[in-house]
Amino acid sequence: MSAKLIKGTEIREAILEEITKEVAEIKEKHGVVPGLVTILVGENPASISYVTLKIKTAHRVGFTEIQDSQPVDISEADLLALIDKYNNDDSINGILVQLPLPKHVNEKKVLNAINPDKDVDGFHPVNVGRLMIGGDEVRFPPCTPAGIQEMIVRAGVETSGAEVVVVGRSNIVGKPIANMMLQKGPGANSTVTVVHTRTKDLAAHCQRADILIVAAGVPGLVKPEWIKQGSCVIDVGVNRVGEKPSAKDPNKMVAILKGDVDFDAAKEIAGSITPVPGGVGPMTITMLMRNTLKSLKFKLGIA
């Protein structure tokens, strides 16, 4: 039997609708809308396309949006001064610094300069600590893990008591999603195992998983025989494995993307599964919007 597809593209639409509605209500009641600033340093084409999508989405949901583009040779001191300016700007609820930054700038120093209450990416050590404590302490869960959890919940998958196995221990996906799934509360209460390159028997751990979350960046790493019958499989991996002519314009080449899971075989065993592309990918910017709205709600005391 074929697994139910958990489509990030559909969930994104539903969440963006909810955010748009809430923004309109807040505007009517409080006379303000969330403000997001995206700081882009240099002209890296991938960064430009990410920032463009973030801006487009922010406009769609009714936020005010500032795109602050800086030259590639901006000094670290000037960048820190810019962050300080937005930290003190009352109309800004979320500050996003598009990574990577040029080599002469200390990325960690810049990210740590963002006011934790405007850190909608959730990477500041204060927000990492808040996430670890859990419950009411959590302010901005990092966007990709927040998207993963949302997909699991909206797919109707039981998390309480579930065996969750996370493949990968990065700071942006593996560690935070593992931490979120083991917290007390709805959409969590799971028993979590995190596996990585030093794990002795990867297959045996994956085979136990009621919910298998894979964020390794290795195409096809997870074999069909590693998947438990009827389980939920979340494939975070986005791997470029080649190029093909674009469906819209056959003269243009586009990347062929593959996940970390052998999708075609896995979908015959899993109960539900995310595709790549169109699975976790669309959720990240969506959750950035939700965090920015949340930031304004905290400020207004209505979160």
Identity of the amino acid at 11: I
Choice from 177, 221, 261, 269 touching ligand NAP (CB under 6 A):
221
Bond preceding residue 45 cis, omega within 30 of 0 = no
Nearer to ligand NAP, 33 or 233 (CB): 233
Interaction between residue 152 and ligand NAP (CB under 6 A): no
Chain residues 236-275 in contact with ligand NAP, contact rule CB under 6 A: 236-239
Interaction between residue 180 and ligand NAP (CB under 6 A): no
- Residues near ligand NAP (CB under 6 A), total: 25
> Is 149 an annotated catalytic residue?
no
Report d(CA 121, CA 142) in Å as an integer: 5
DSSP 8-state secondary structure symbol assigned to residue 224: G
> Is 136 an annotated catalytic residue?
no
The interface region with ligand NAP, picked from 64-72, 75-83, 167-175, 267-275 by CB under 6 A, is 167-175
Nearer to ligand NAP, 195 or 293 (CB): 195
> Is 54 an annotated catalytic residue?
yes
Nearest distance, CB of residue 30 and ligand NAP, angstroms: 31
Interaction between residue 15 and ligand NAP (CB under 6 A): no
Burial class (CB in 10 A: 0-12, 13-18, 19+), 40: buried
The interface region with ligand NAP, picked from 47-55, 81-89, 106-114, 164-172 by CB under 6 A, is 164-172
Instruction: Give whole-number Cα distances, 95 to 27, 109, 256, 262, in Å.
Output: 20, 15, 32, 37
Structural contact between residues 170 and 196, judged by C-beta atoms closer than 8 angstroms: no
The interface region with ligand NAP, picked from 22-30, 46-54, 101-109, 215-223 by CB under 6 A, is 215-223
Structural contact between residues 9 and 282, judged by C-beta atoms closer than 8 angstroms: yes
Stretch 127-146: interaction string toward ligand NAP, x if CB under 6 A: -----------------x--
**113-145 burial code (b ≥16 CB/10 A, e <16):** bbbbbbbbbbbbebbbebbeeeeeebbbbbbbb
Interaction between residue 216 and ligand NAP (CB under 6 A): yes
Chain residues 182-201 in contact with ligand NAP, contact rule CB under 6 A: 195-198
> How many CB atoms are closer than 10 A to CB 95?
28
Find the catalytic residue in 118, 119, 121, 183: 121
For 135, residues 6+ apart whose C-beta sits below 8 A from its C-beta are 183, 184, 185
Report d(CA 236, CA 279) in Å as an integer: 8
Both tokens assigned to 56: 């487009």
DSSP 8-state secondary structure symbol assigned to residue 102: P
Choice from 48, 80, 132, 218 touching ligand NAP (CB under 6 A):
218
Choice from 114, 167, 180, 227 touching ligand NAP (CB under 6 A):
167
Nearest distance, CB of residue 156 and ligand NAP, angstroms: 22
The binding site for ligand NAP (CB under 6 A) comprises 144, 167-170, 172-174, 195-198, 202, 215-218, 221, 236-239, 280-281, 284
Residues belonging to the active site: 54, 98, 121
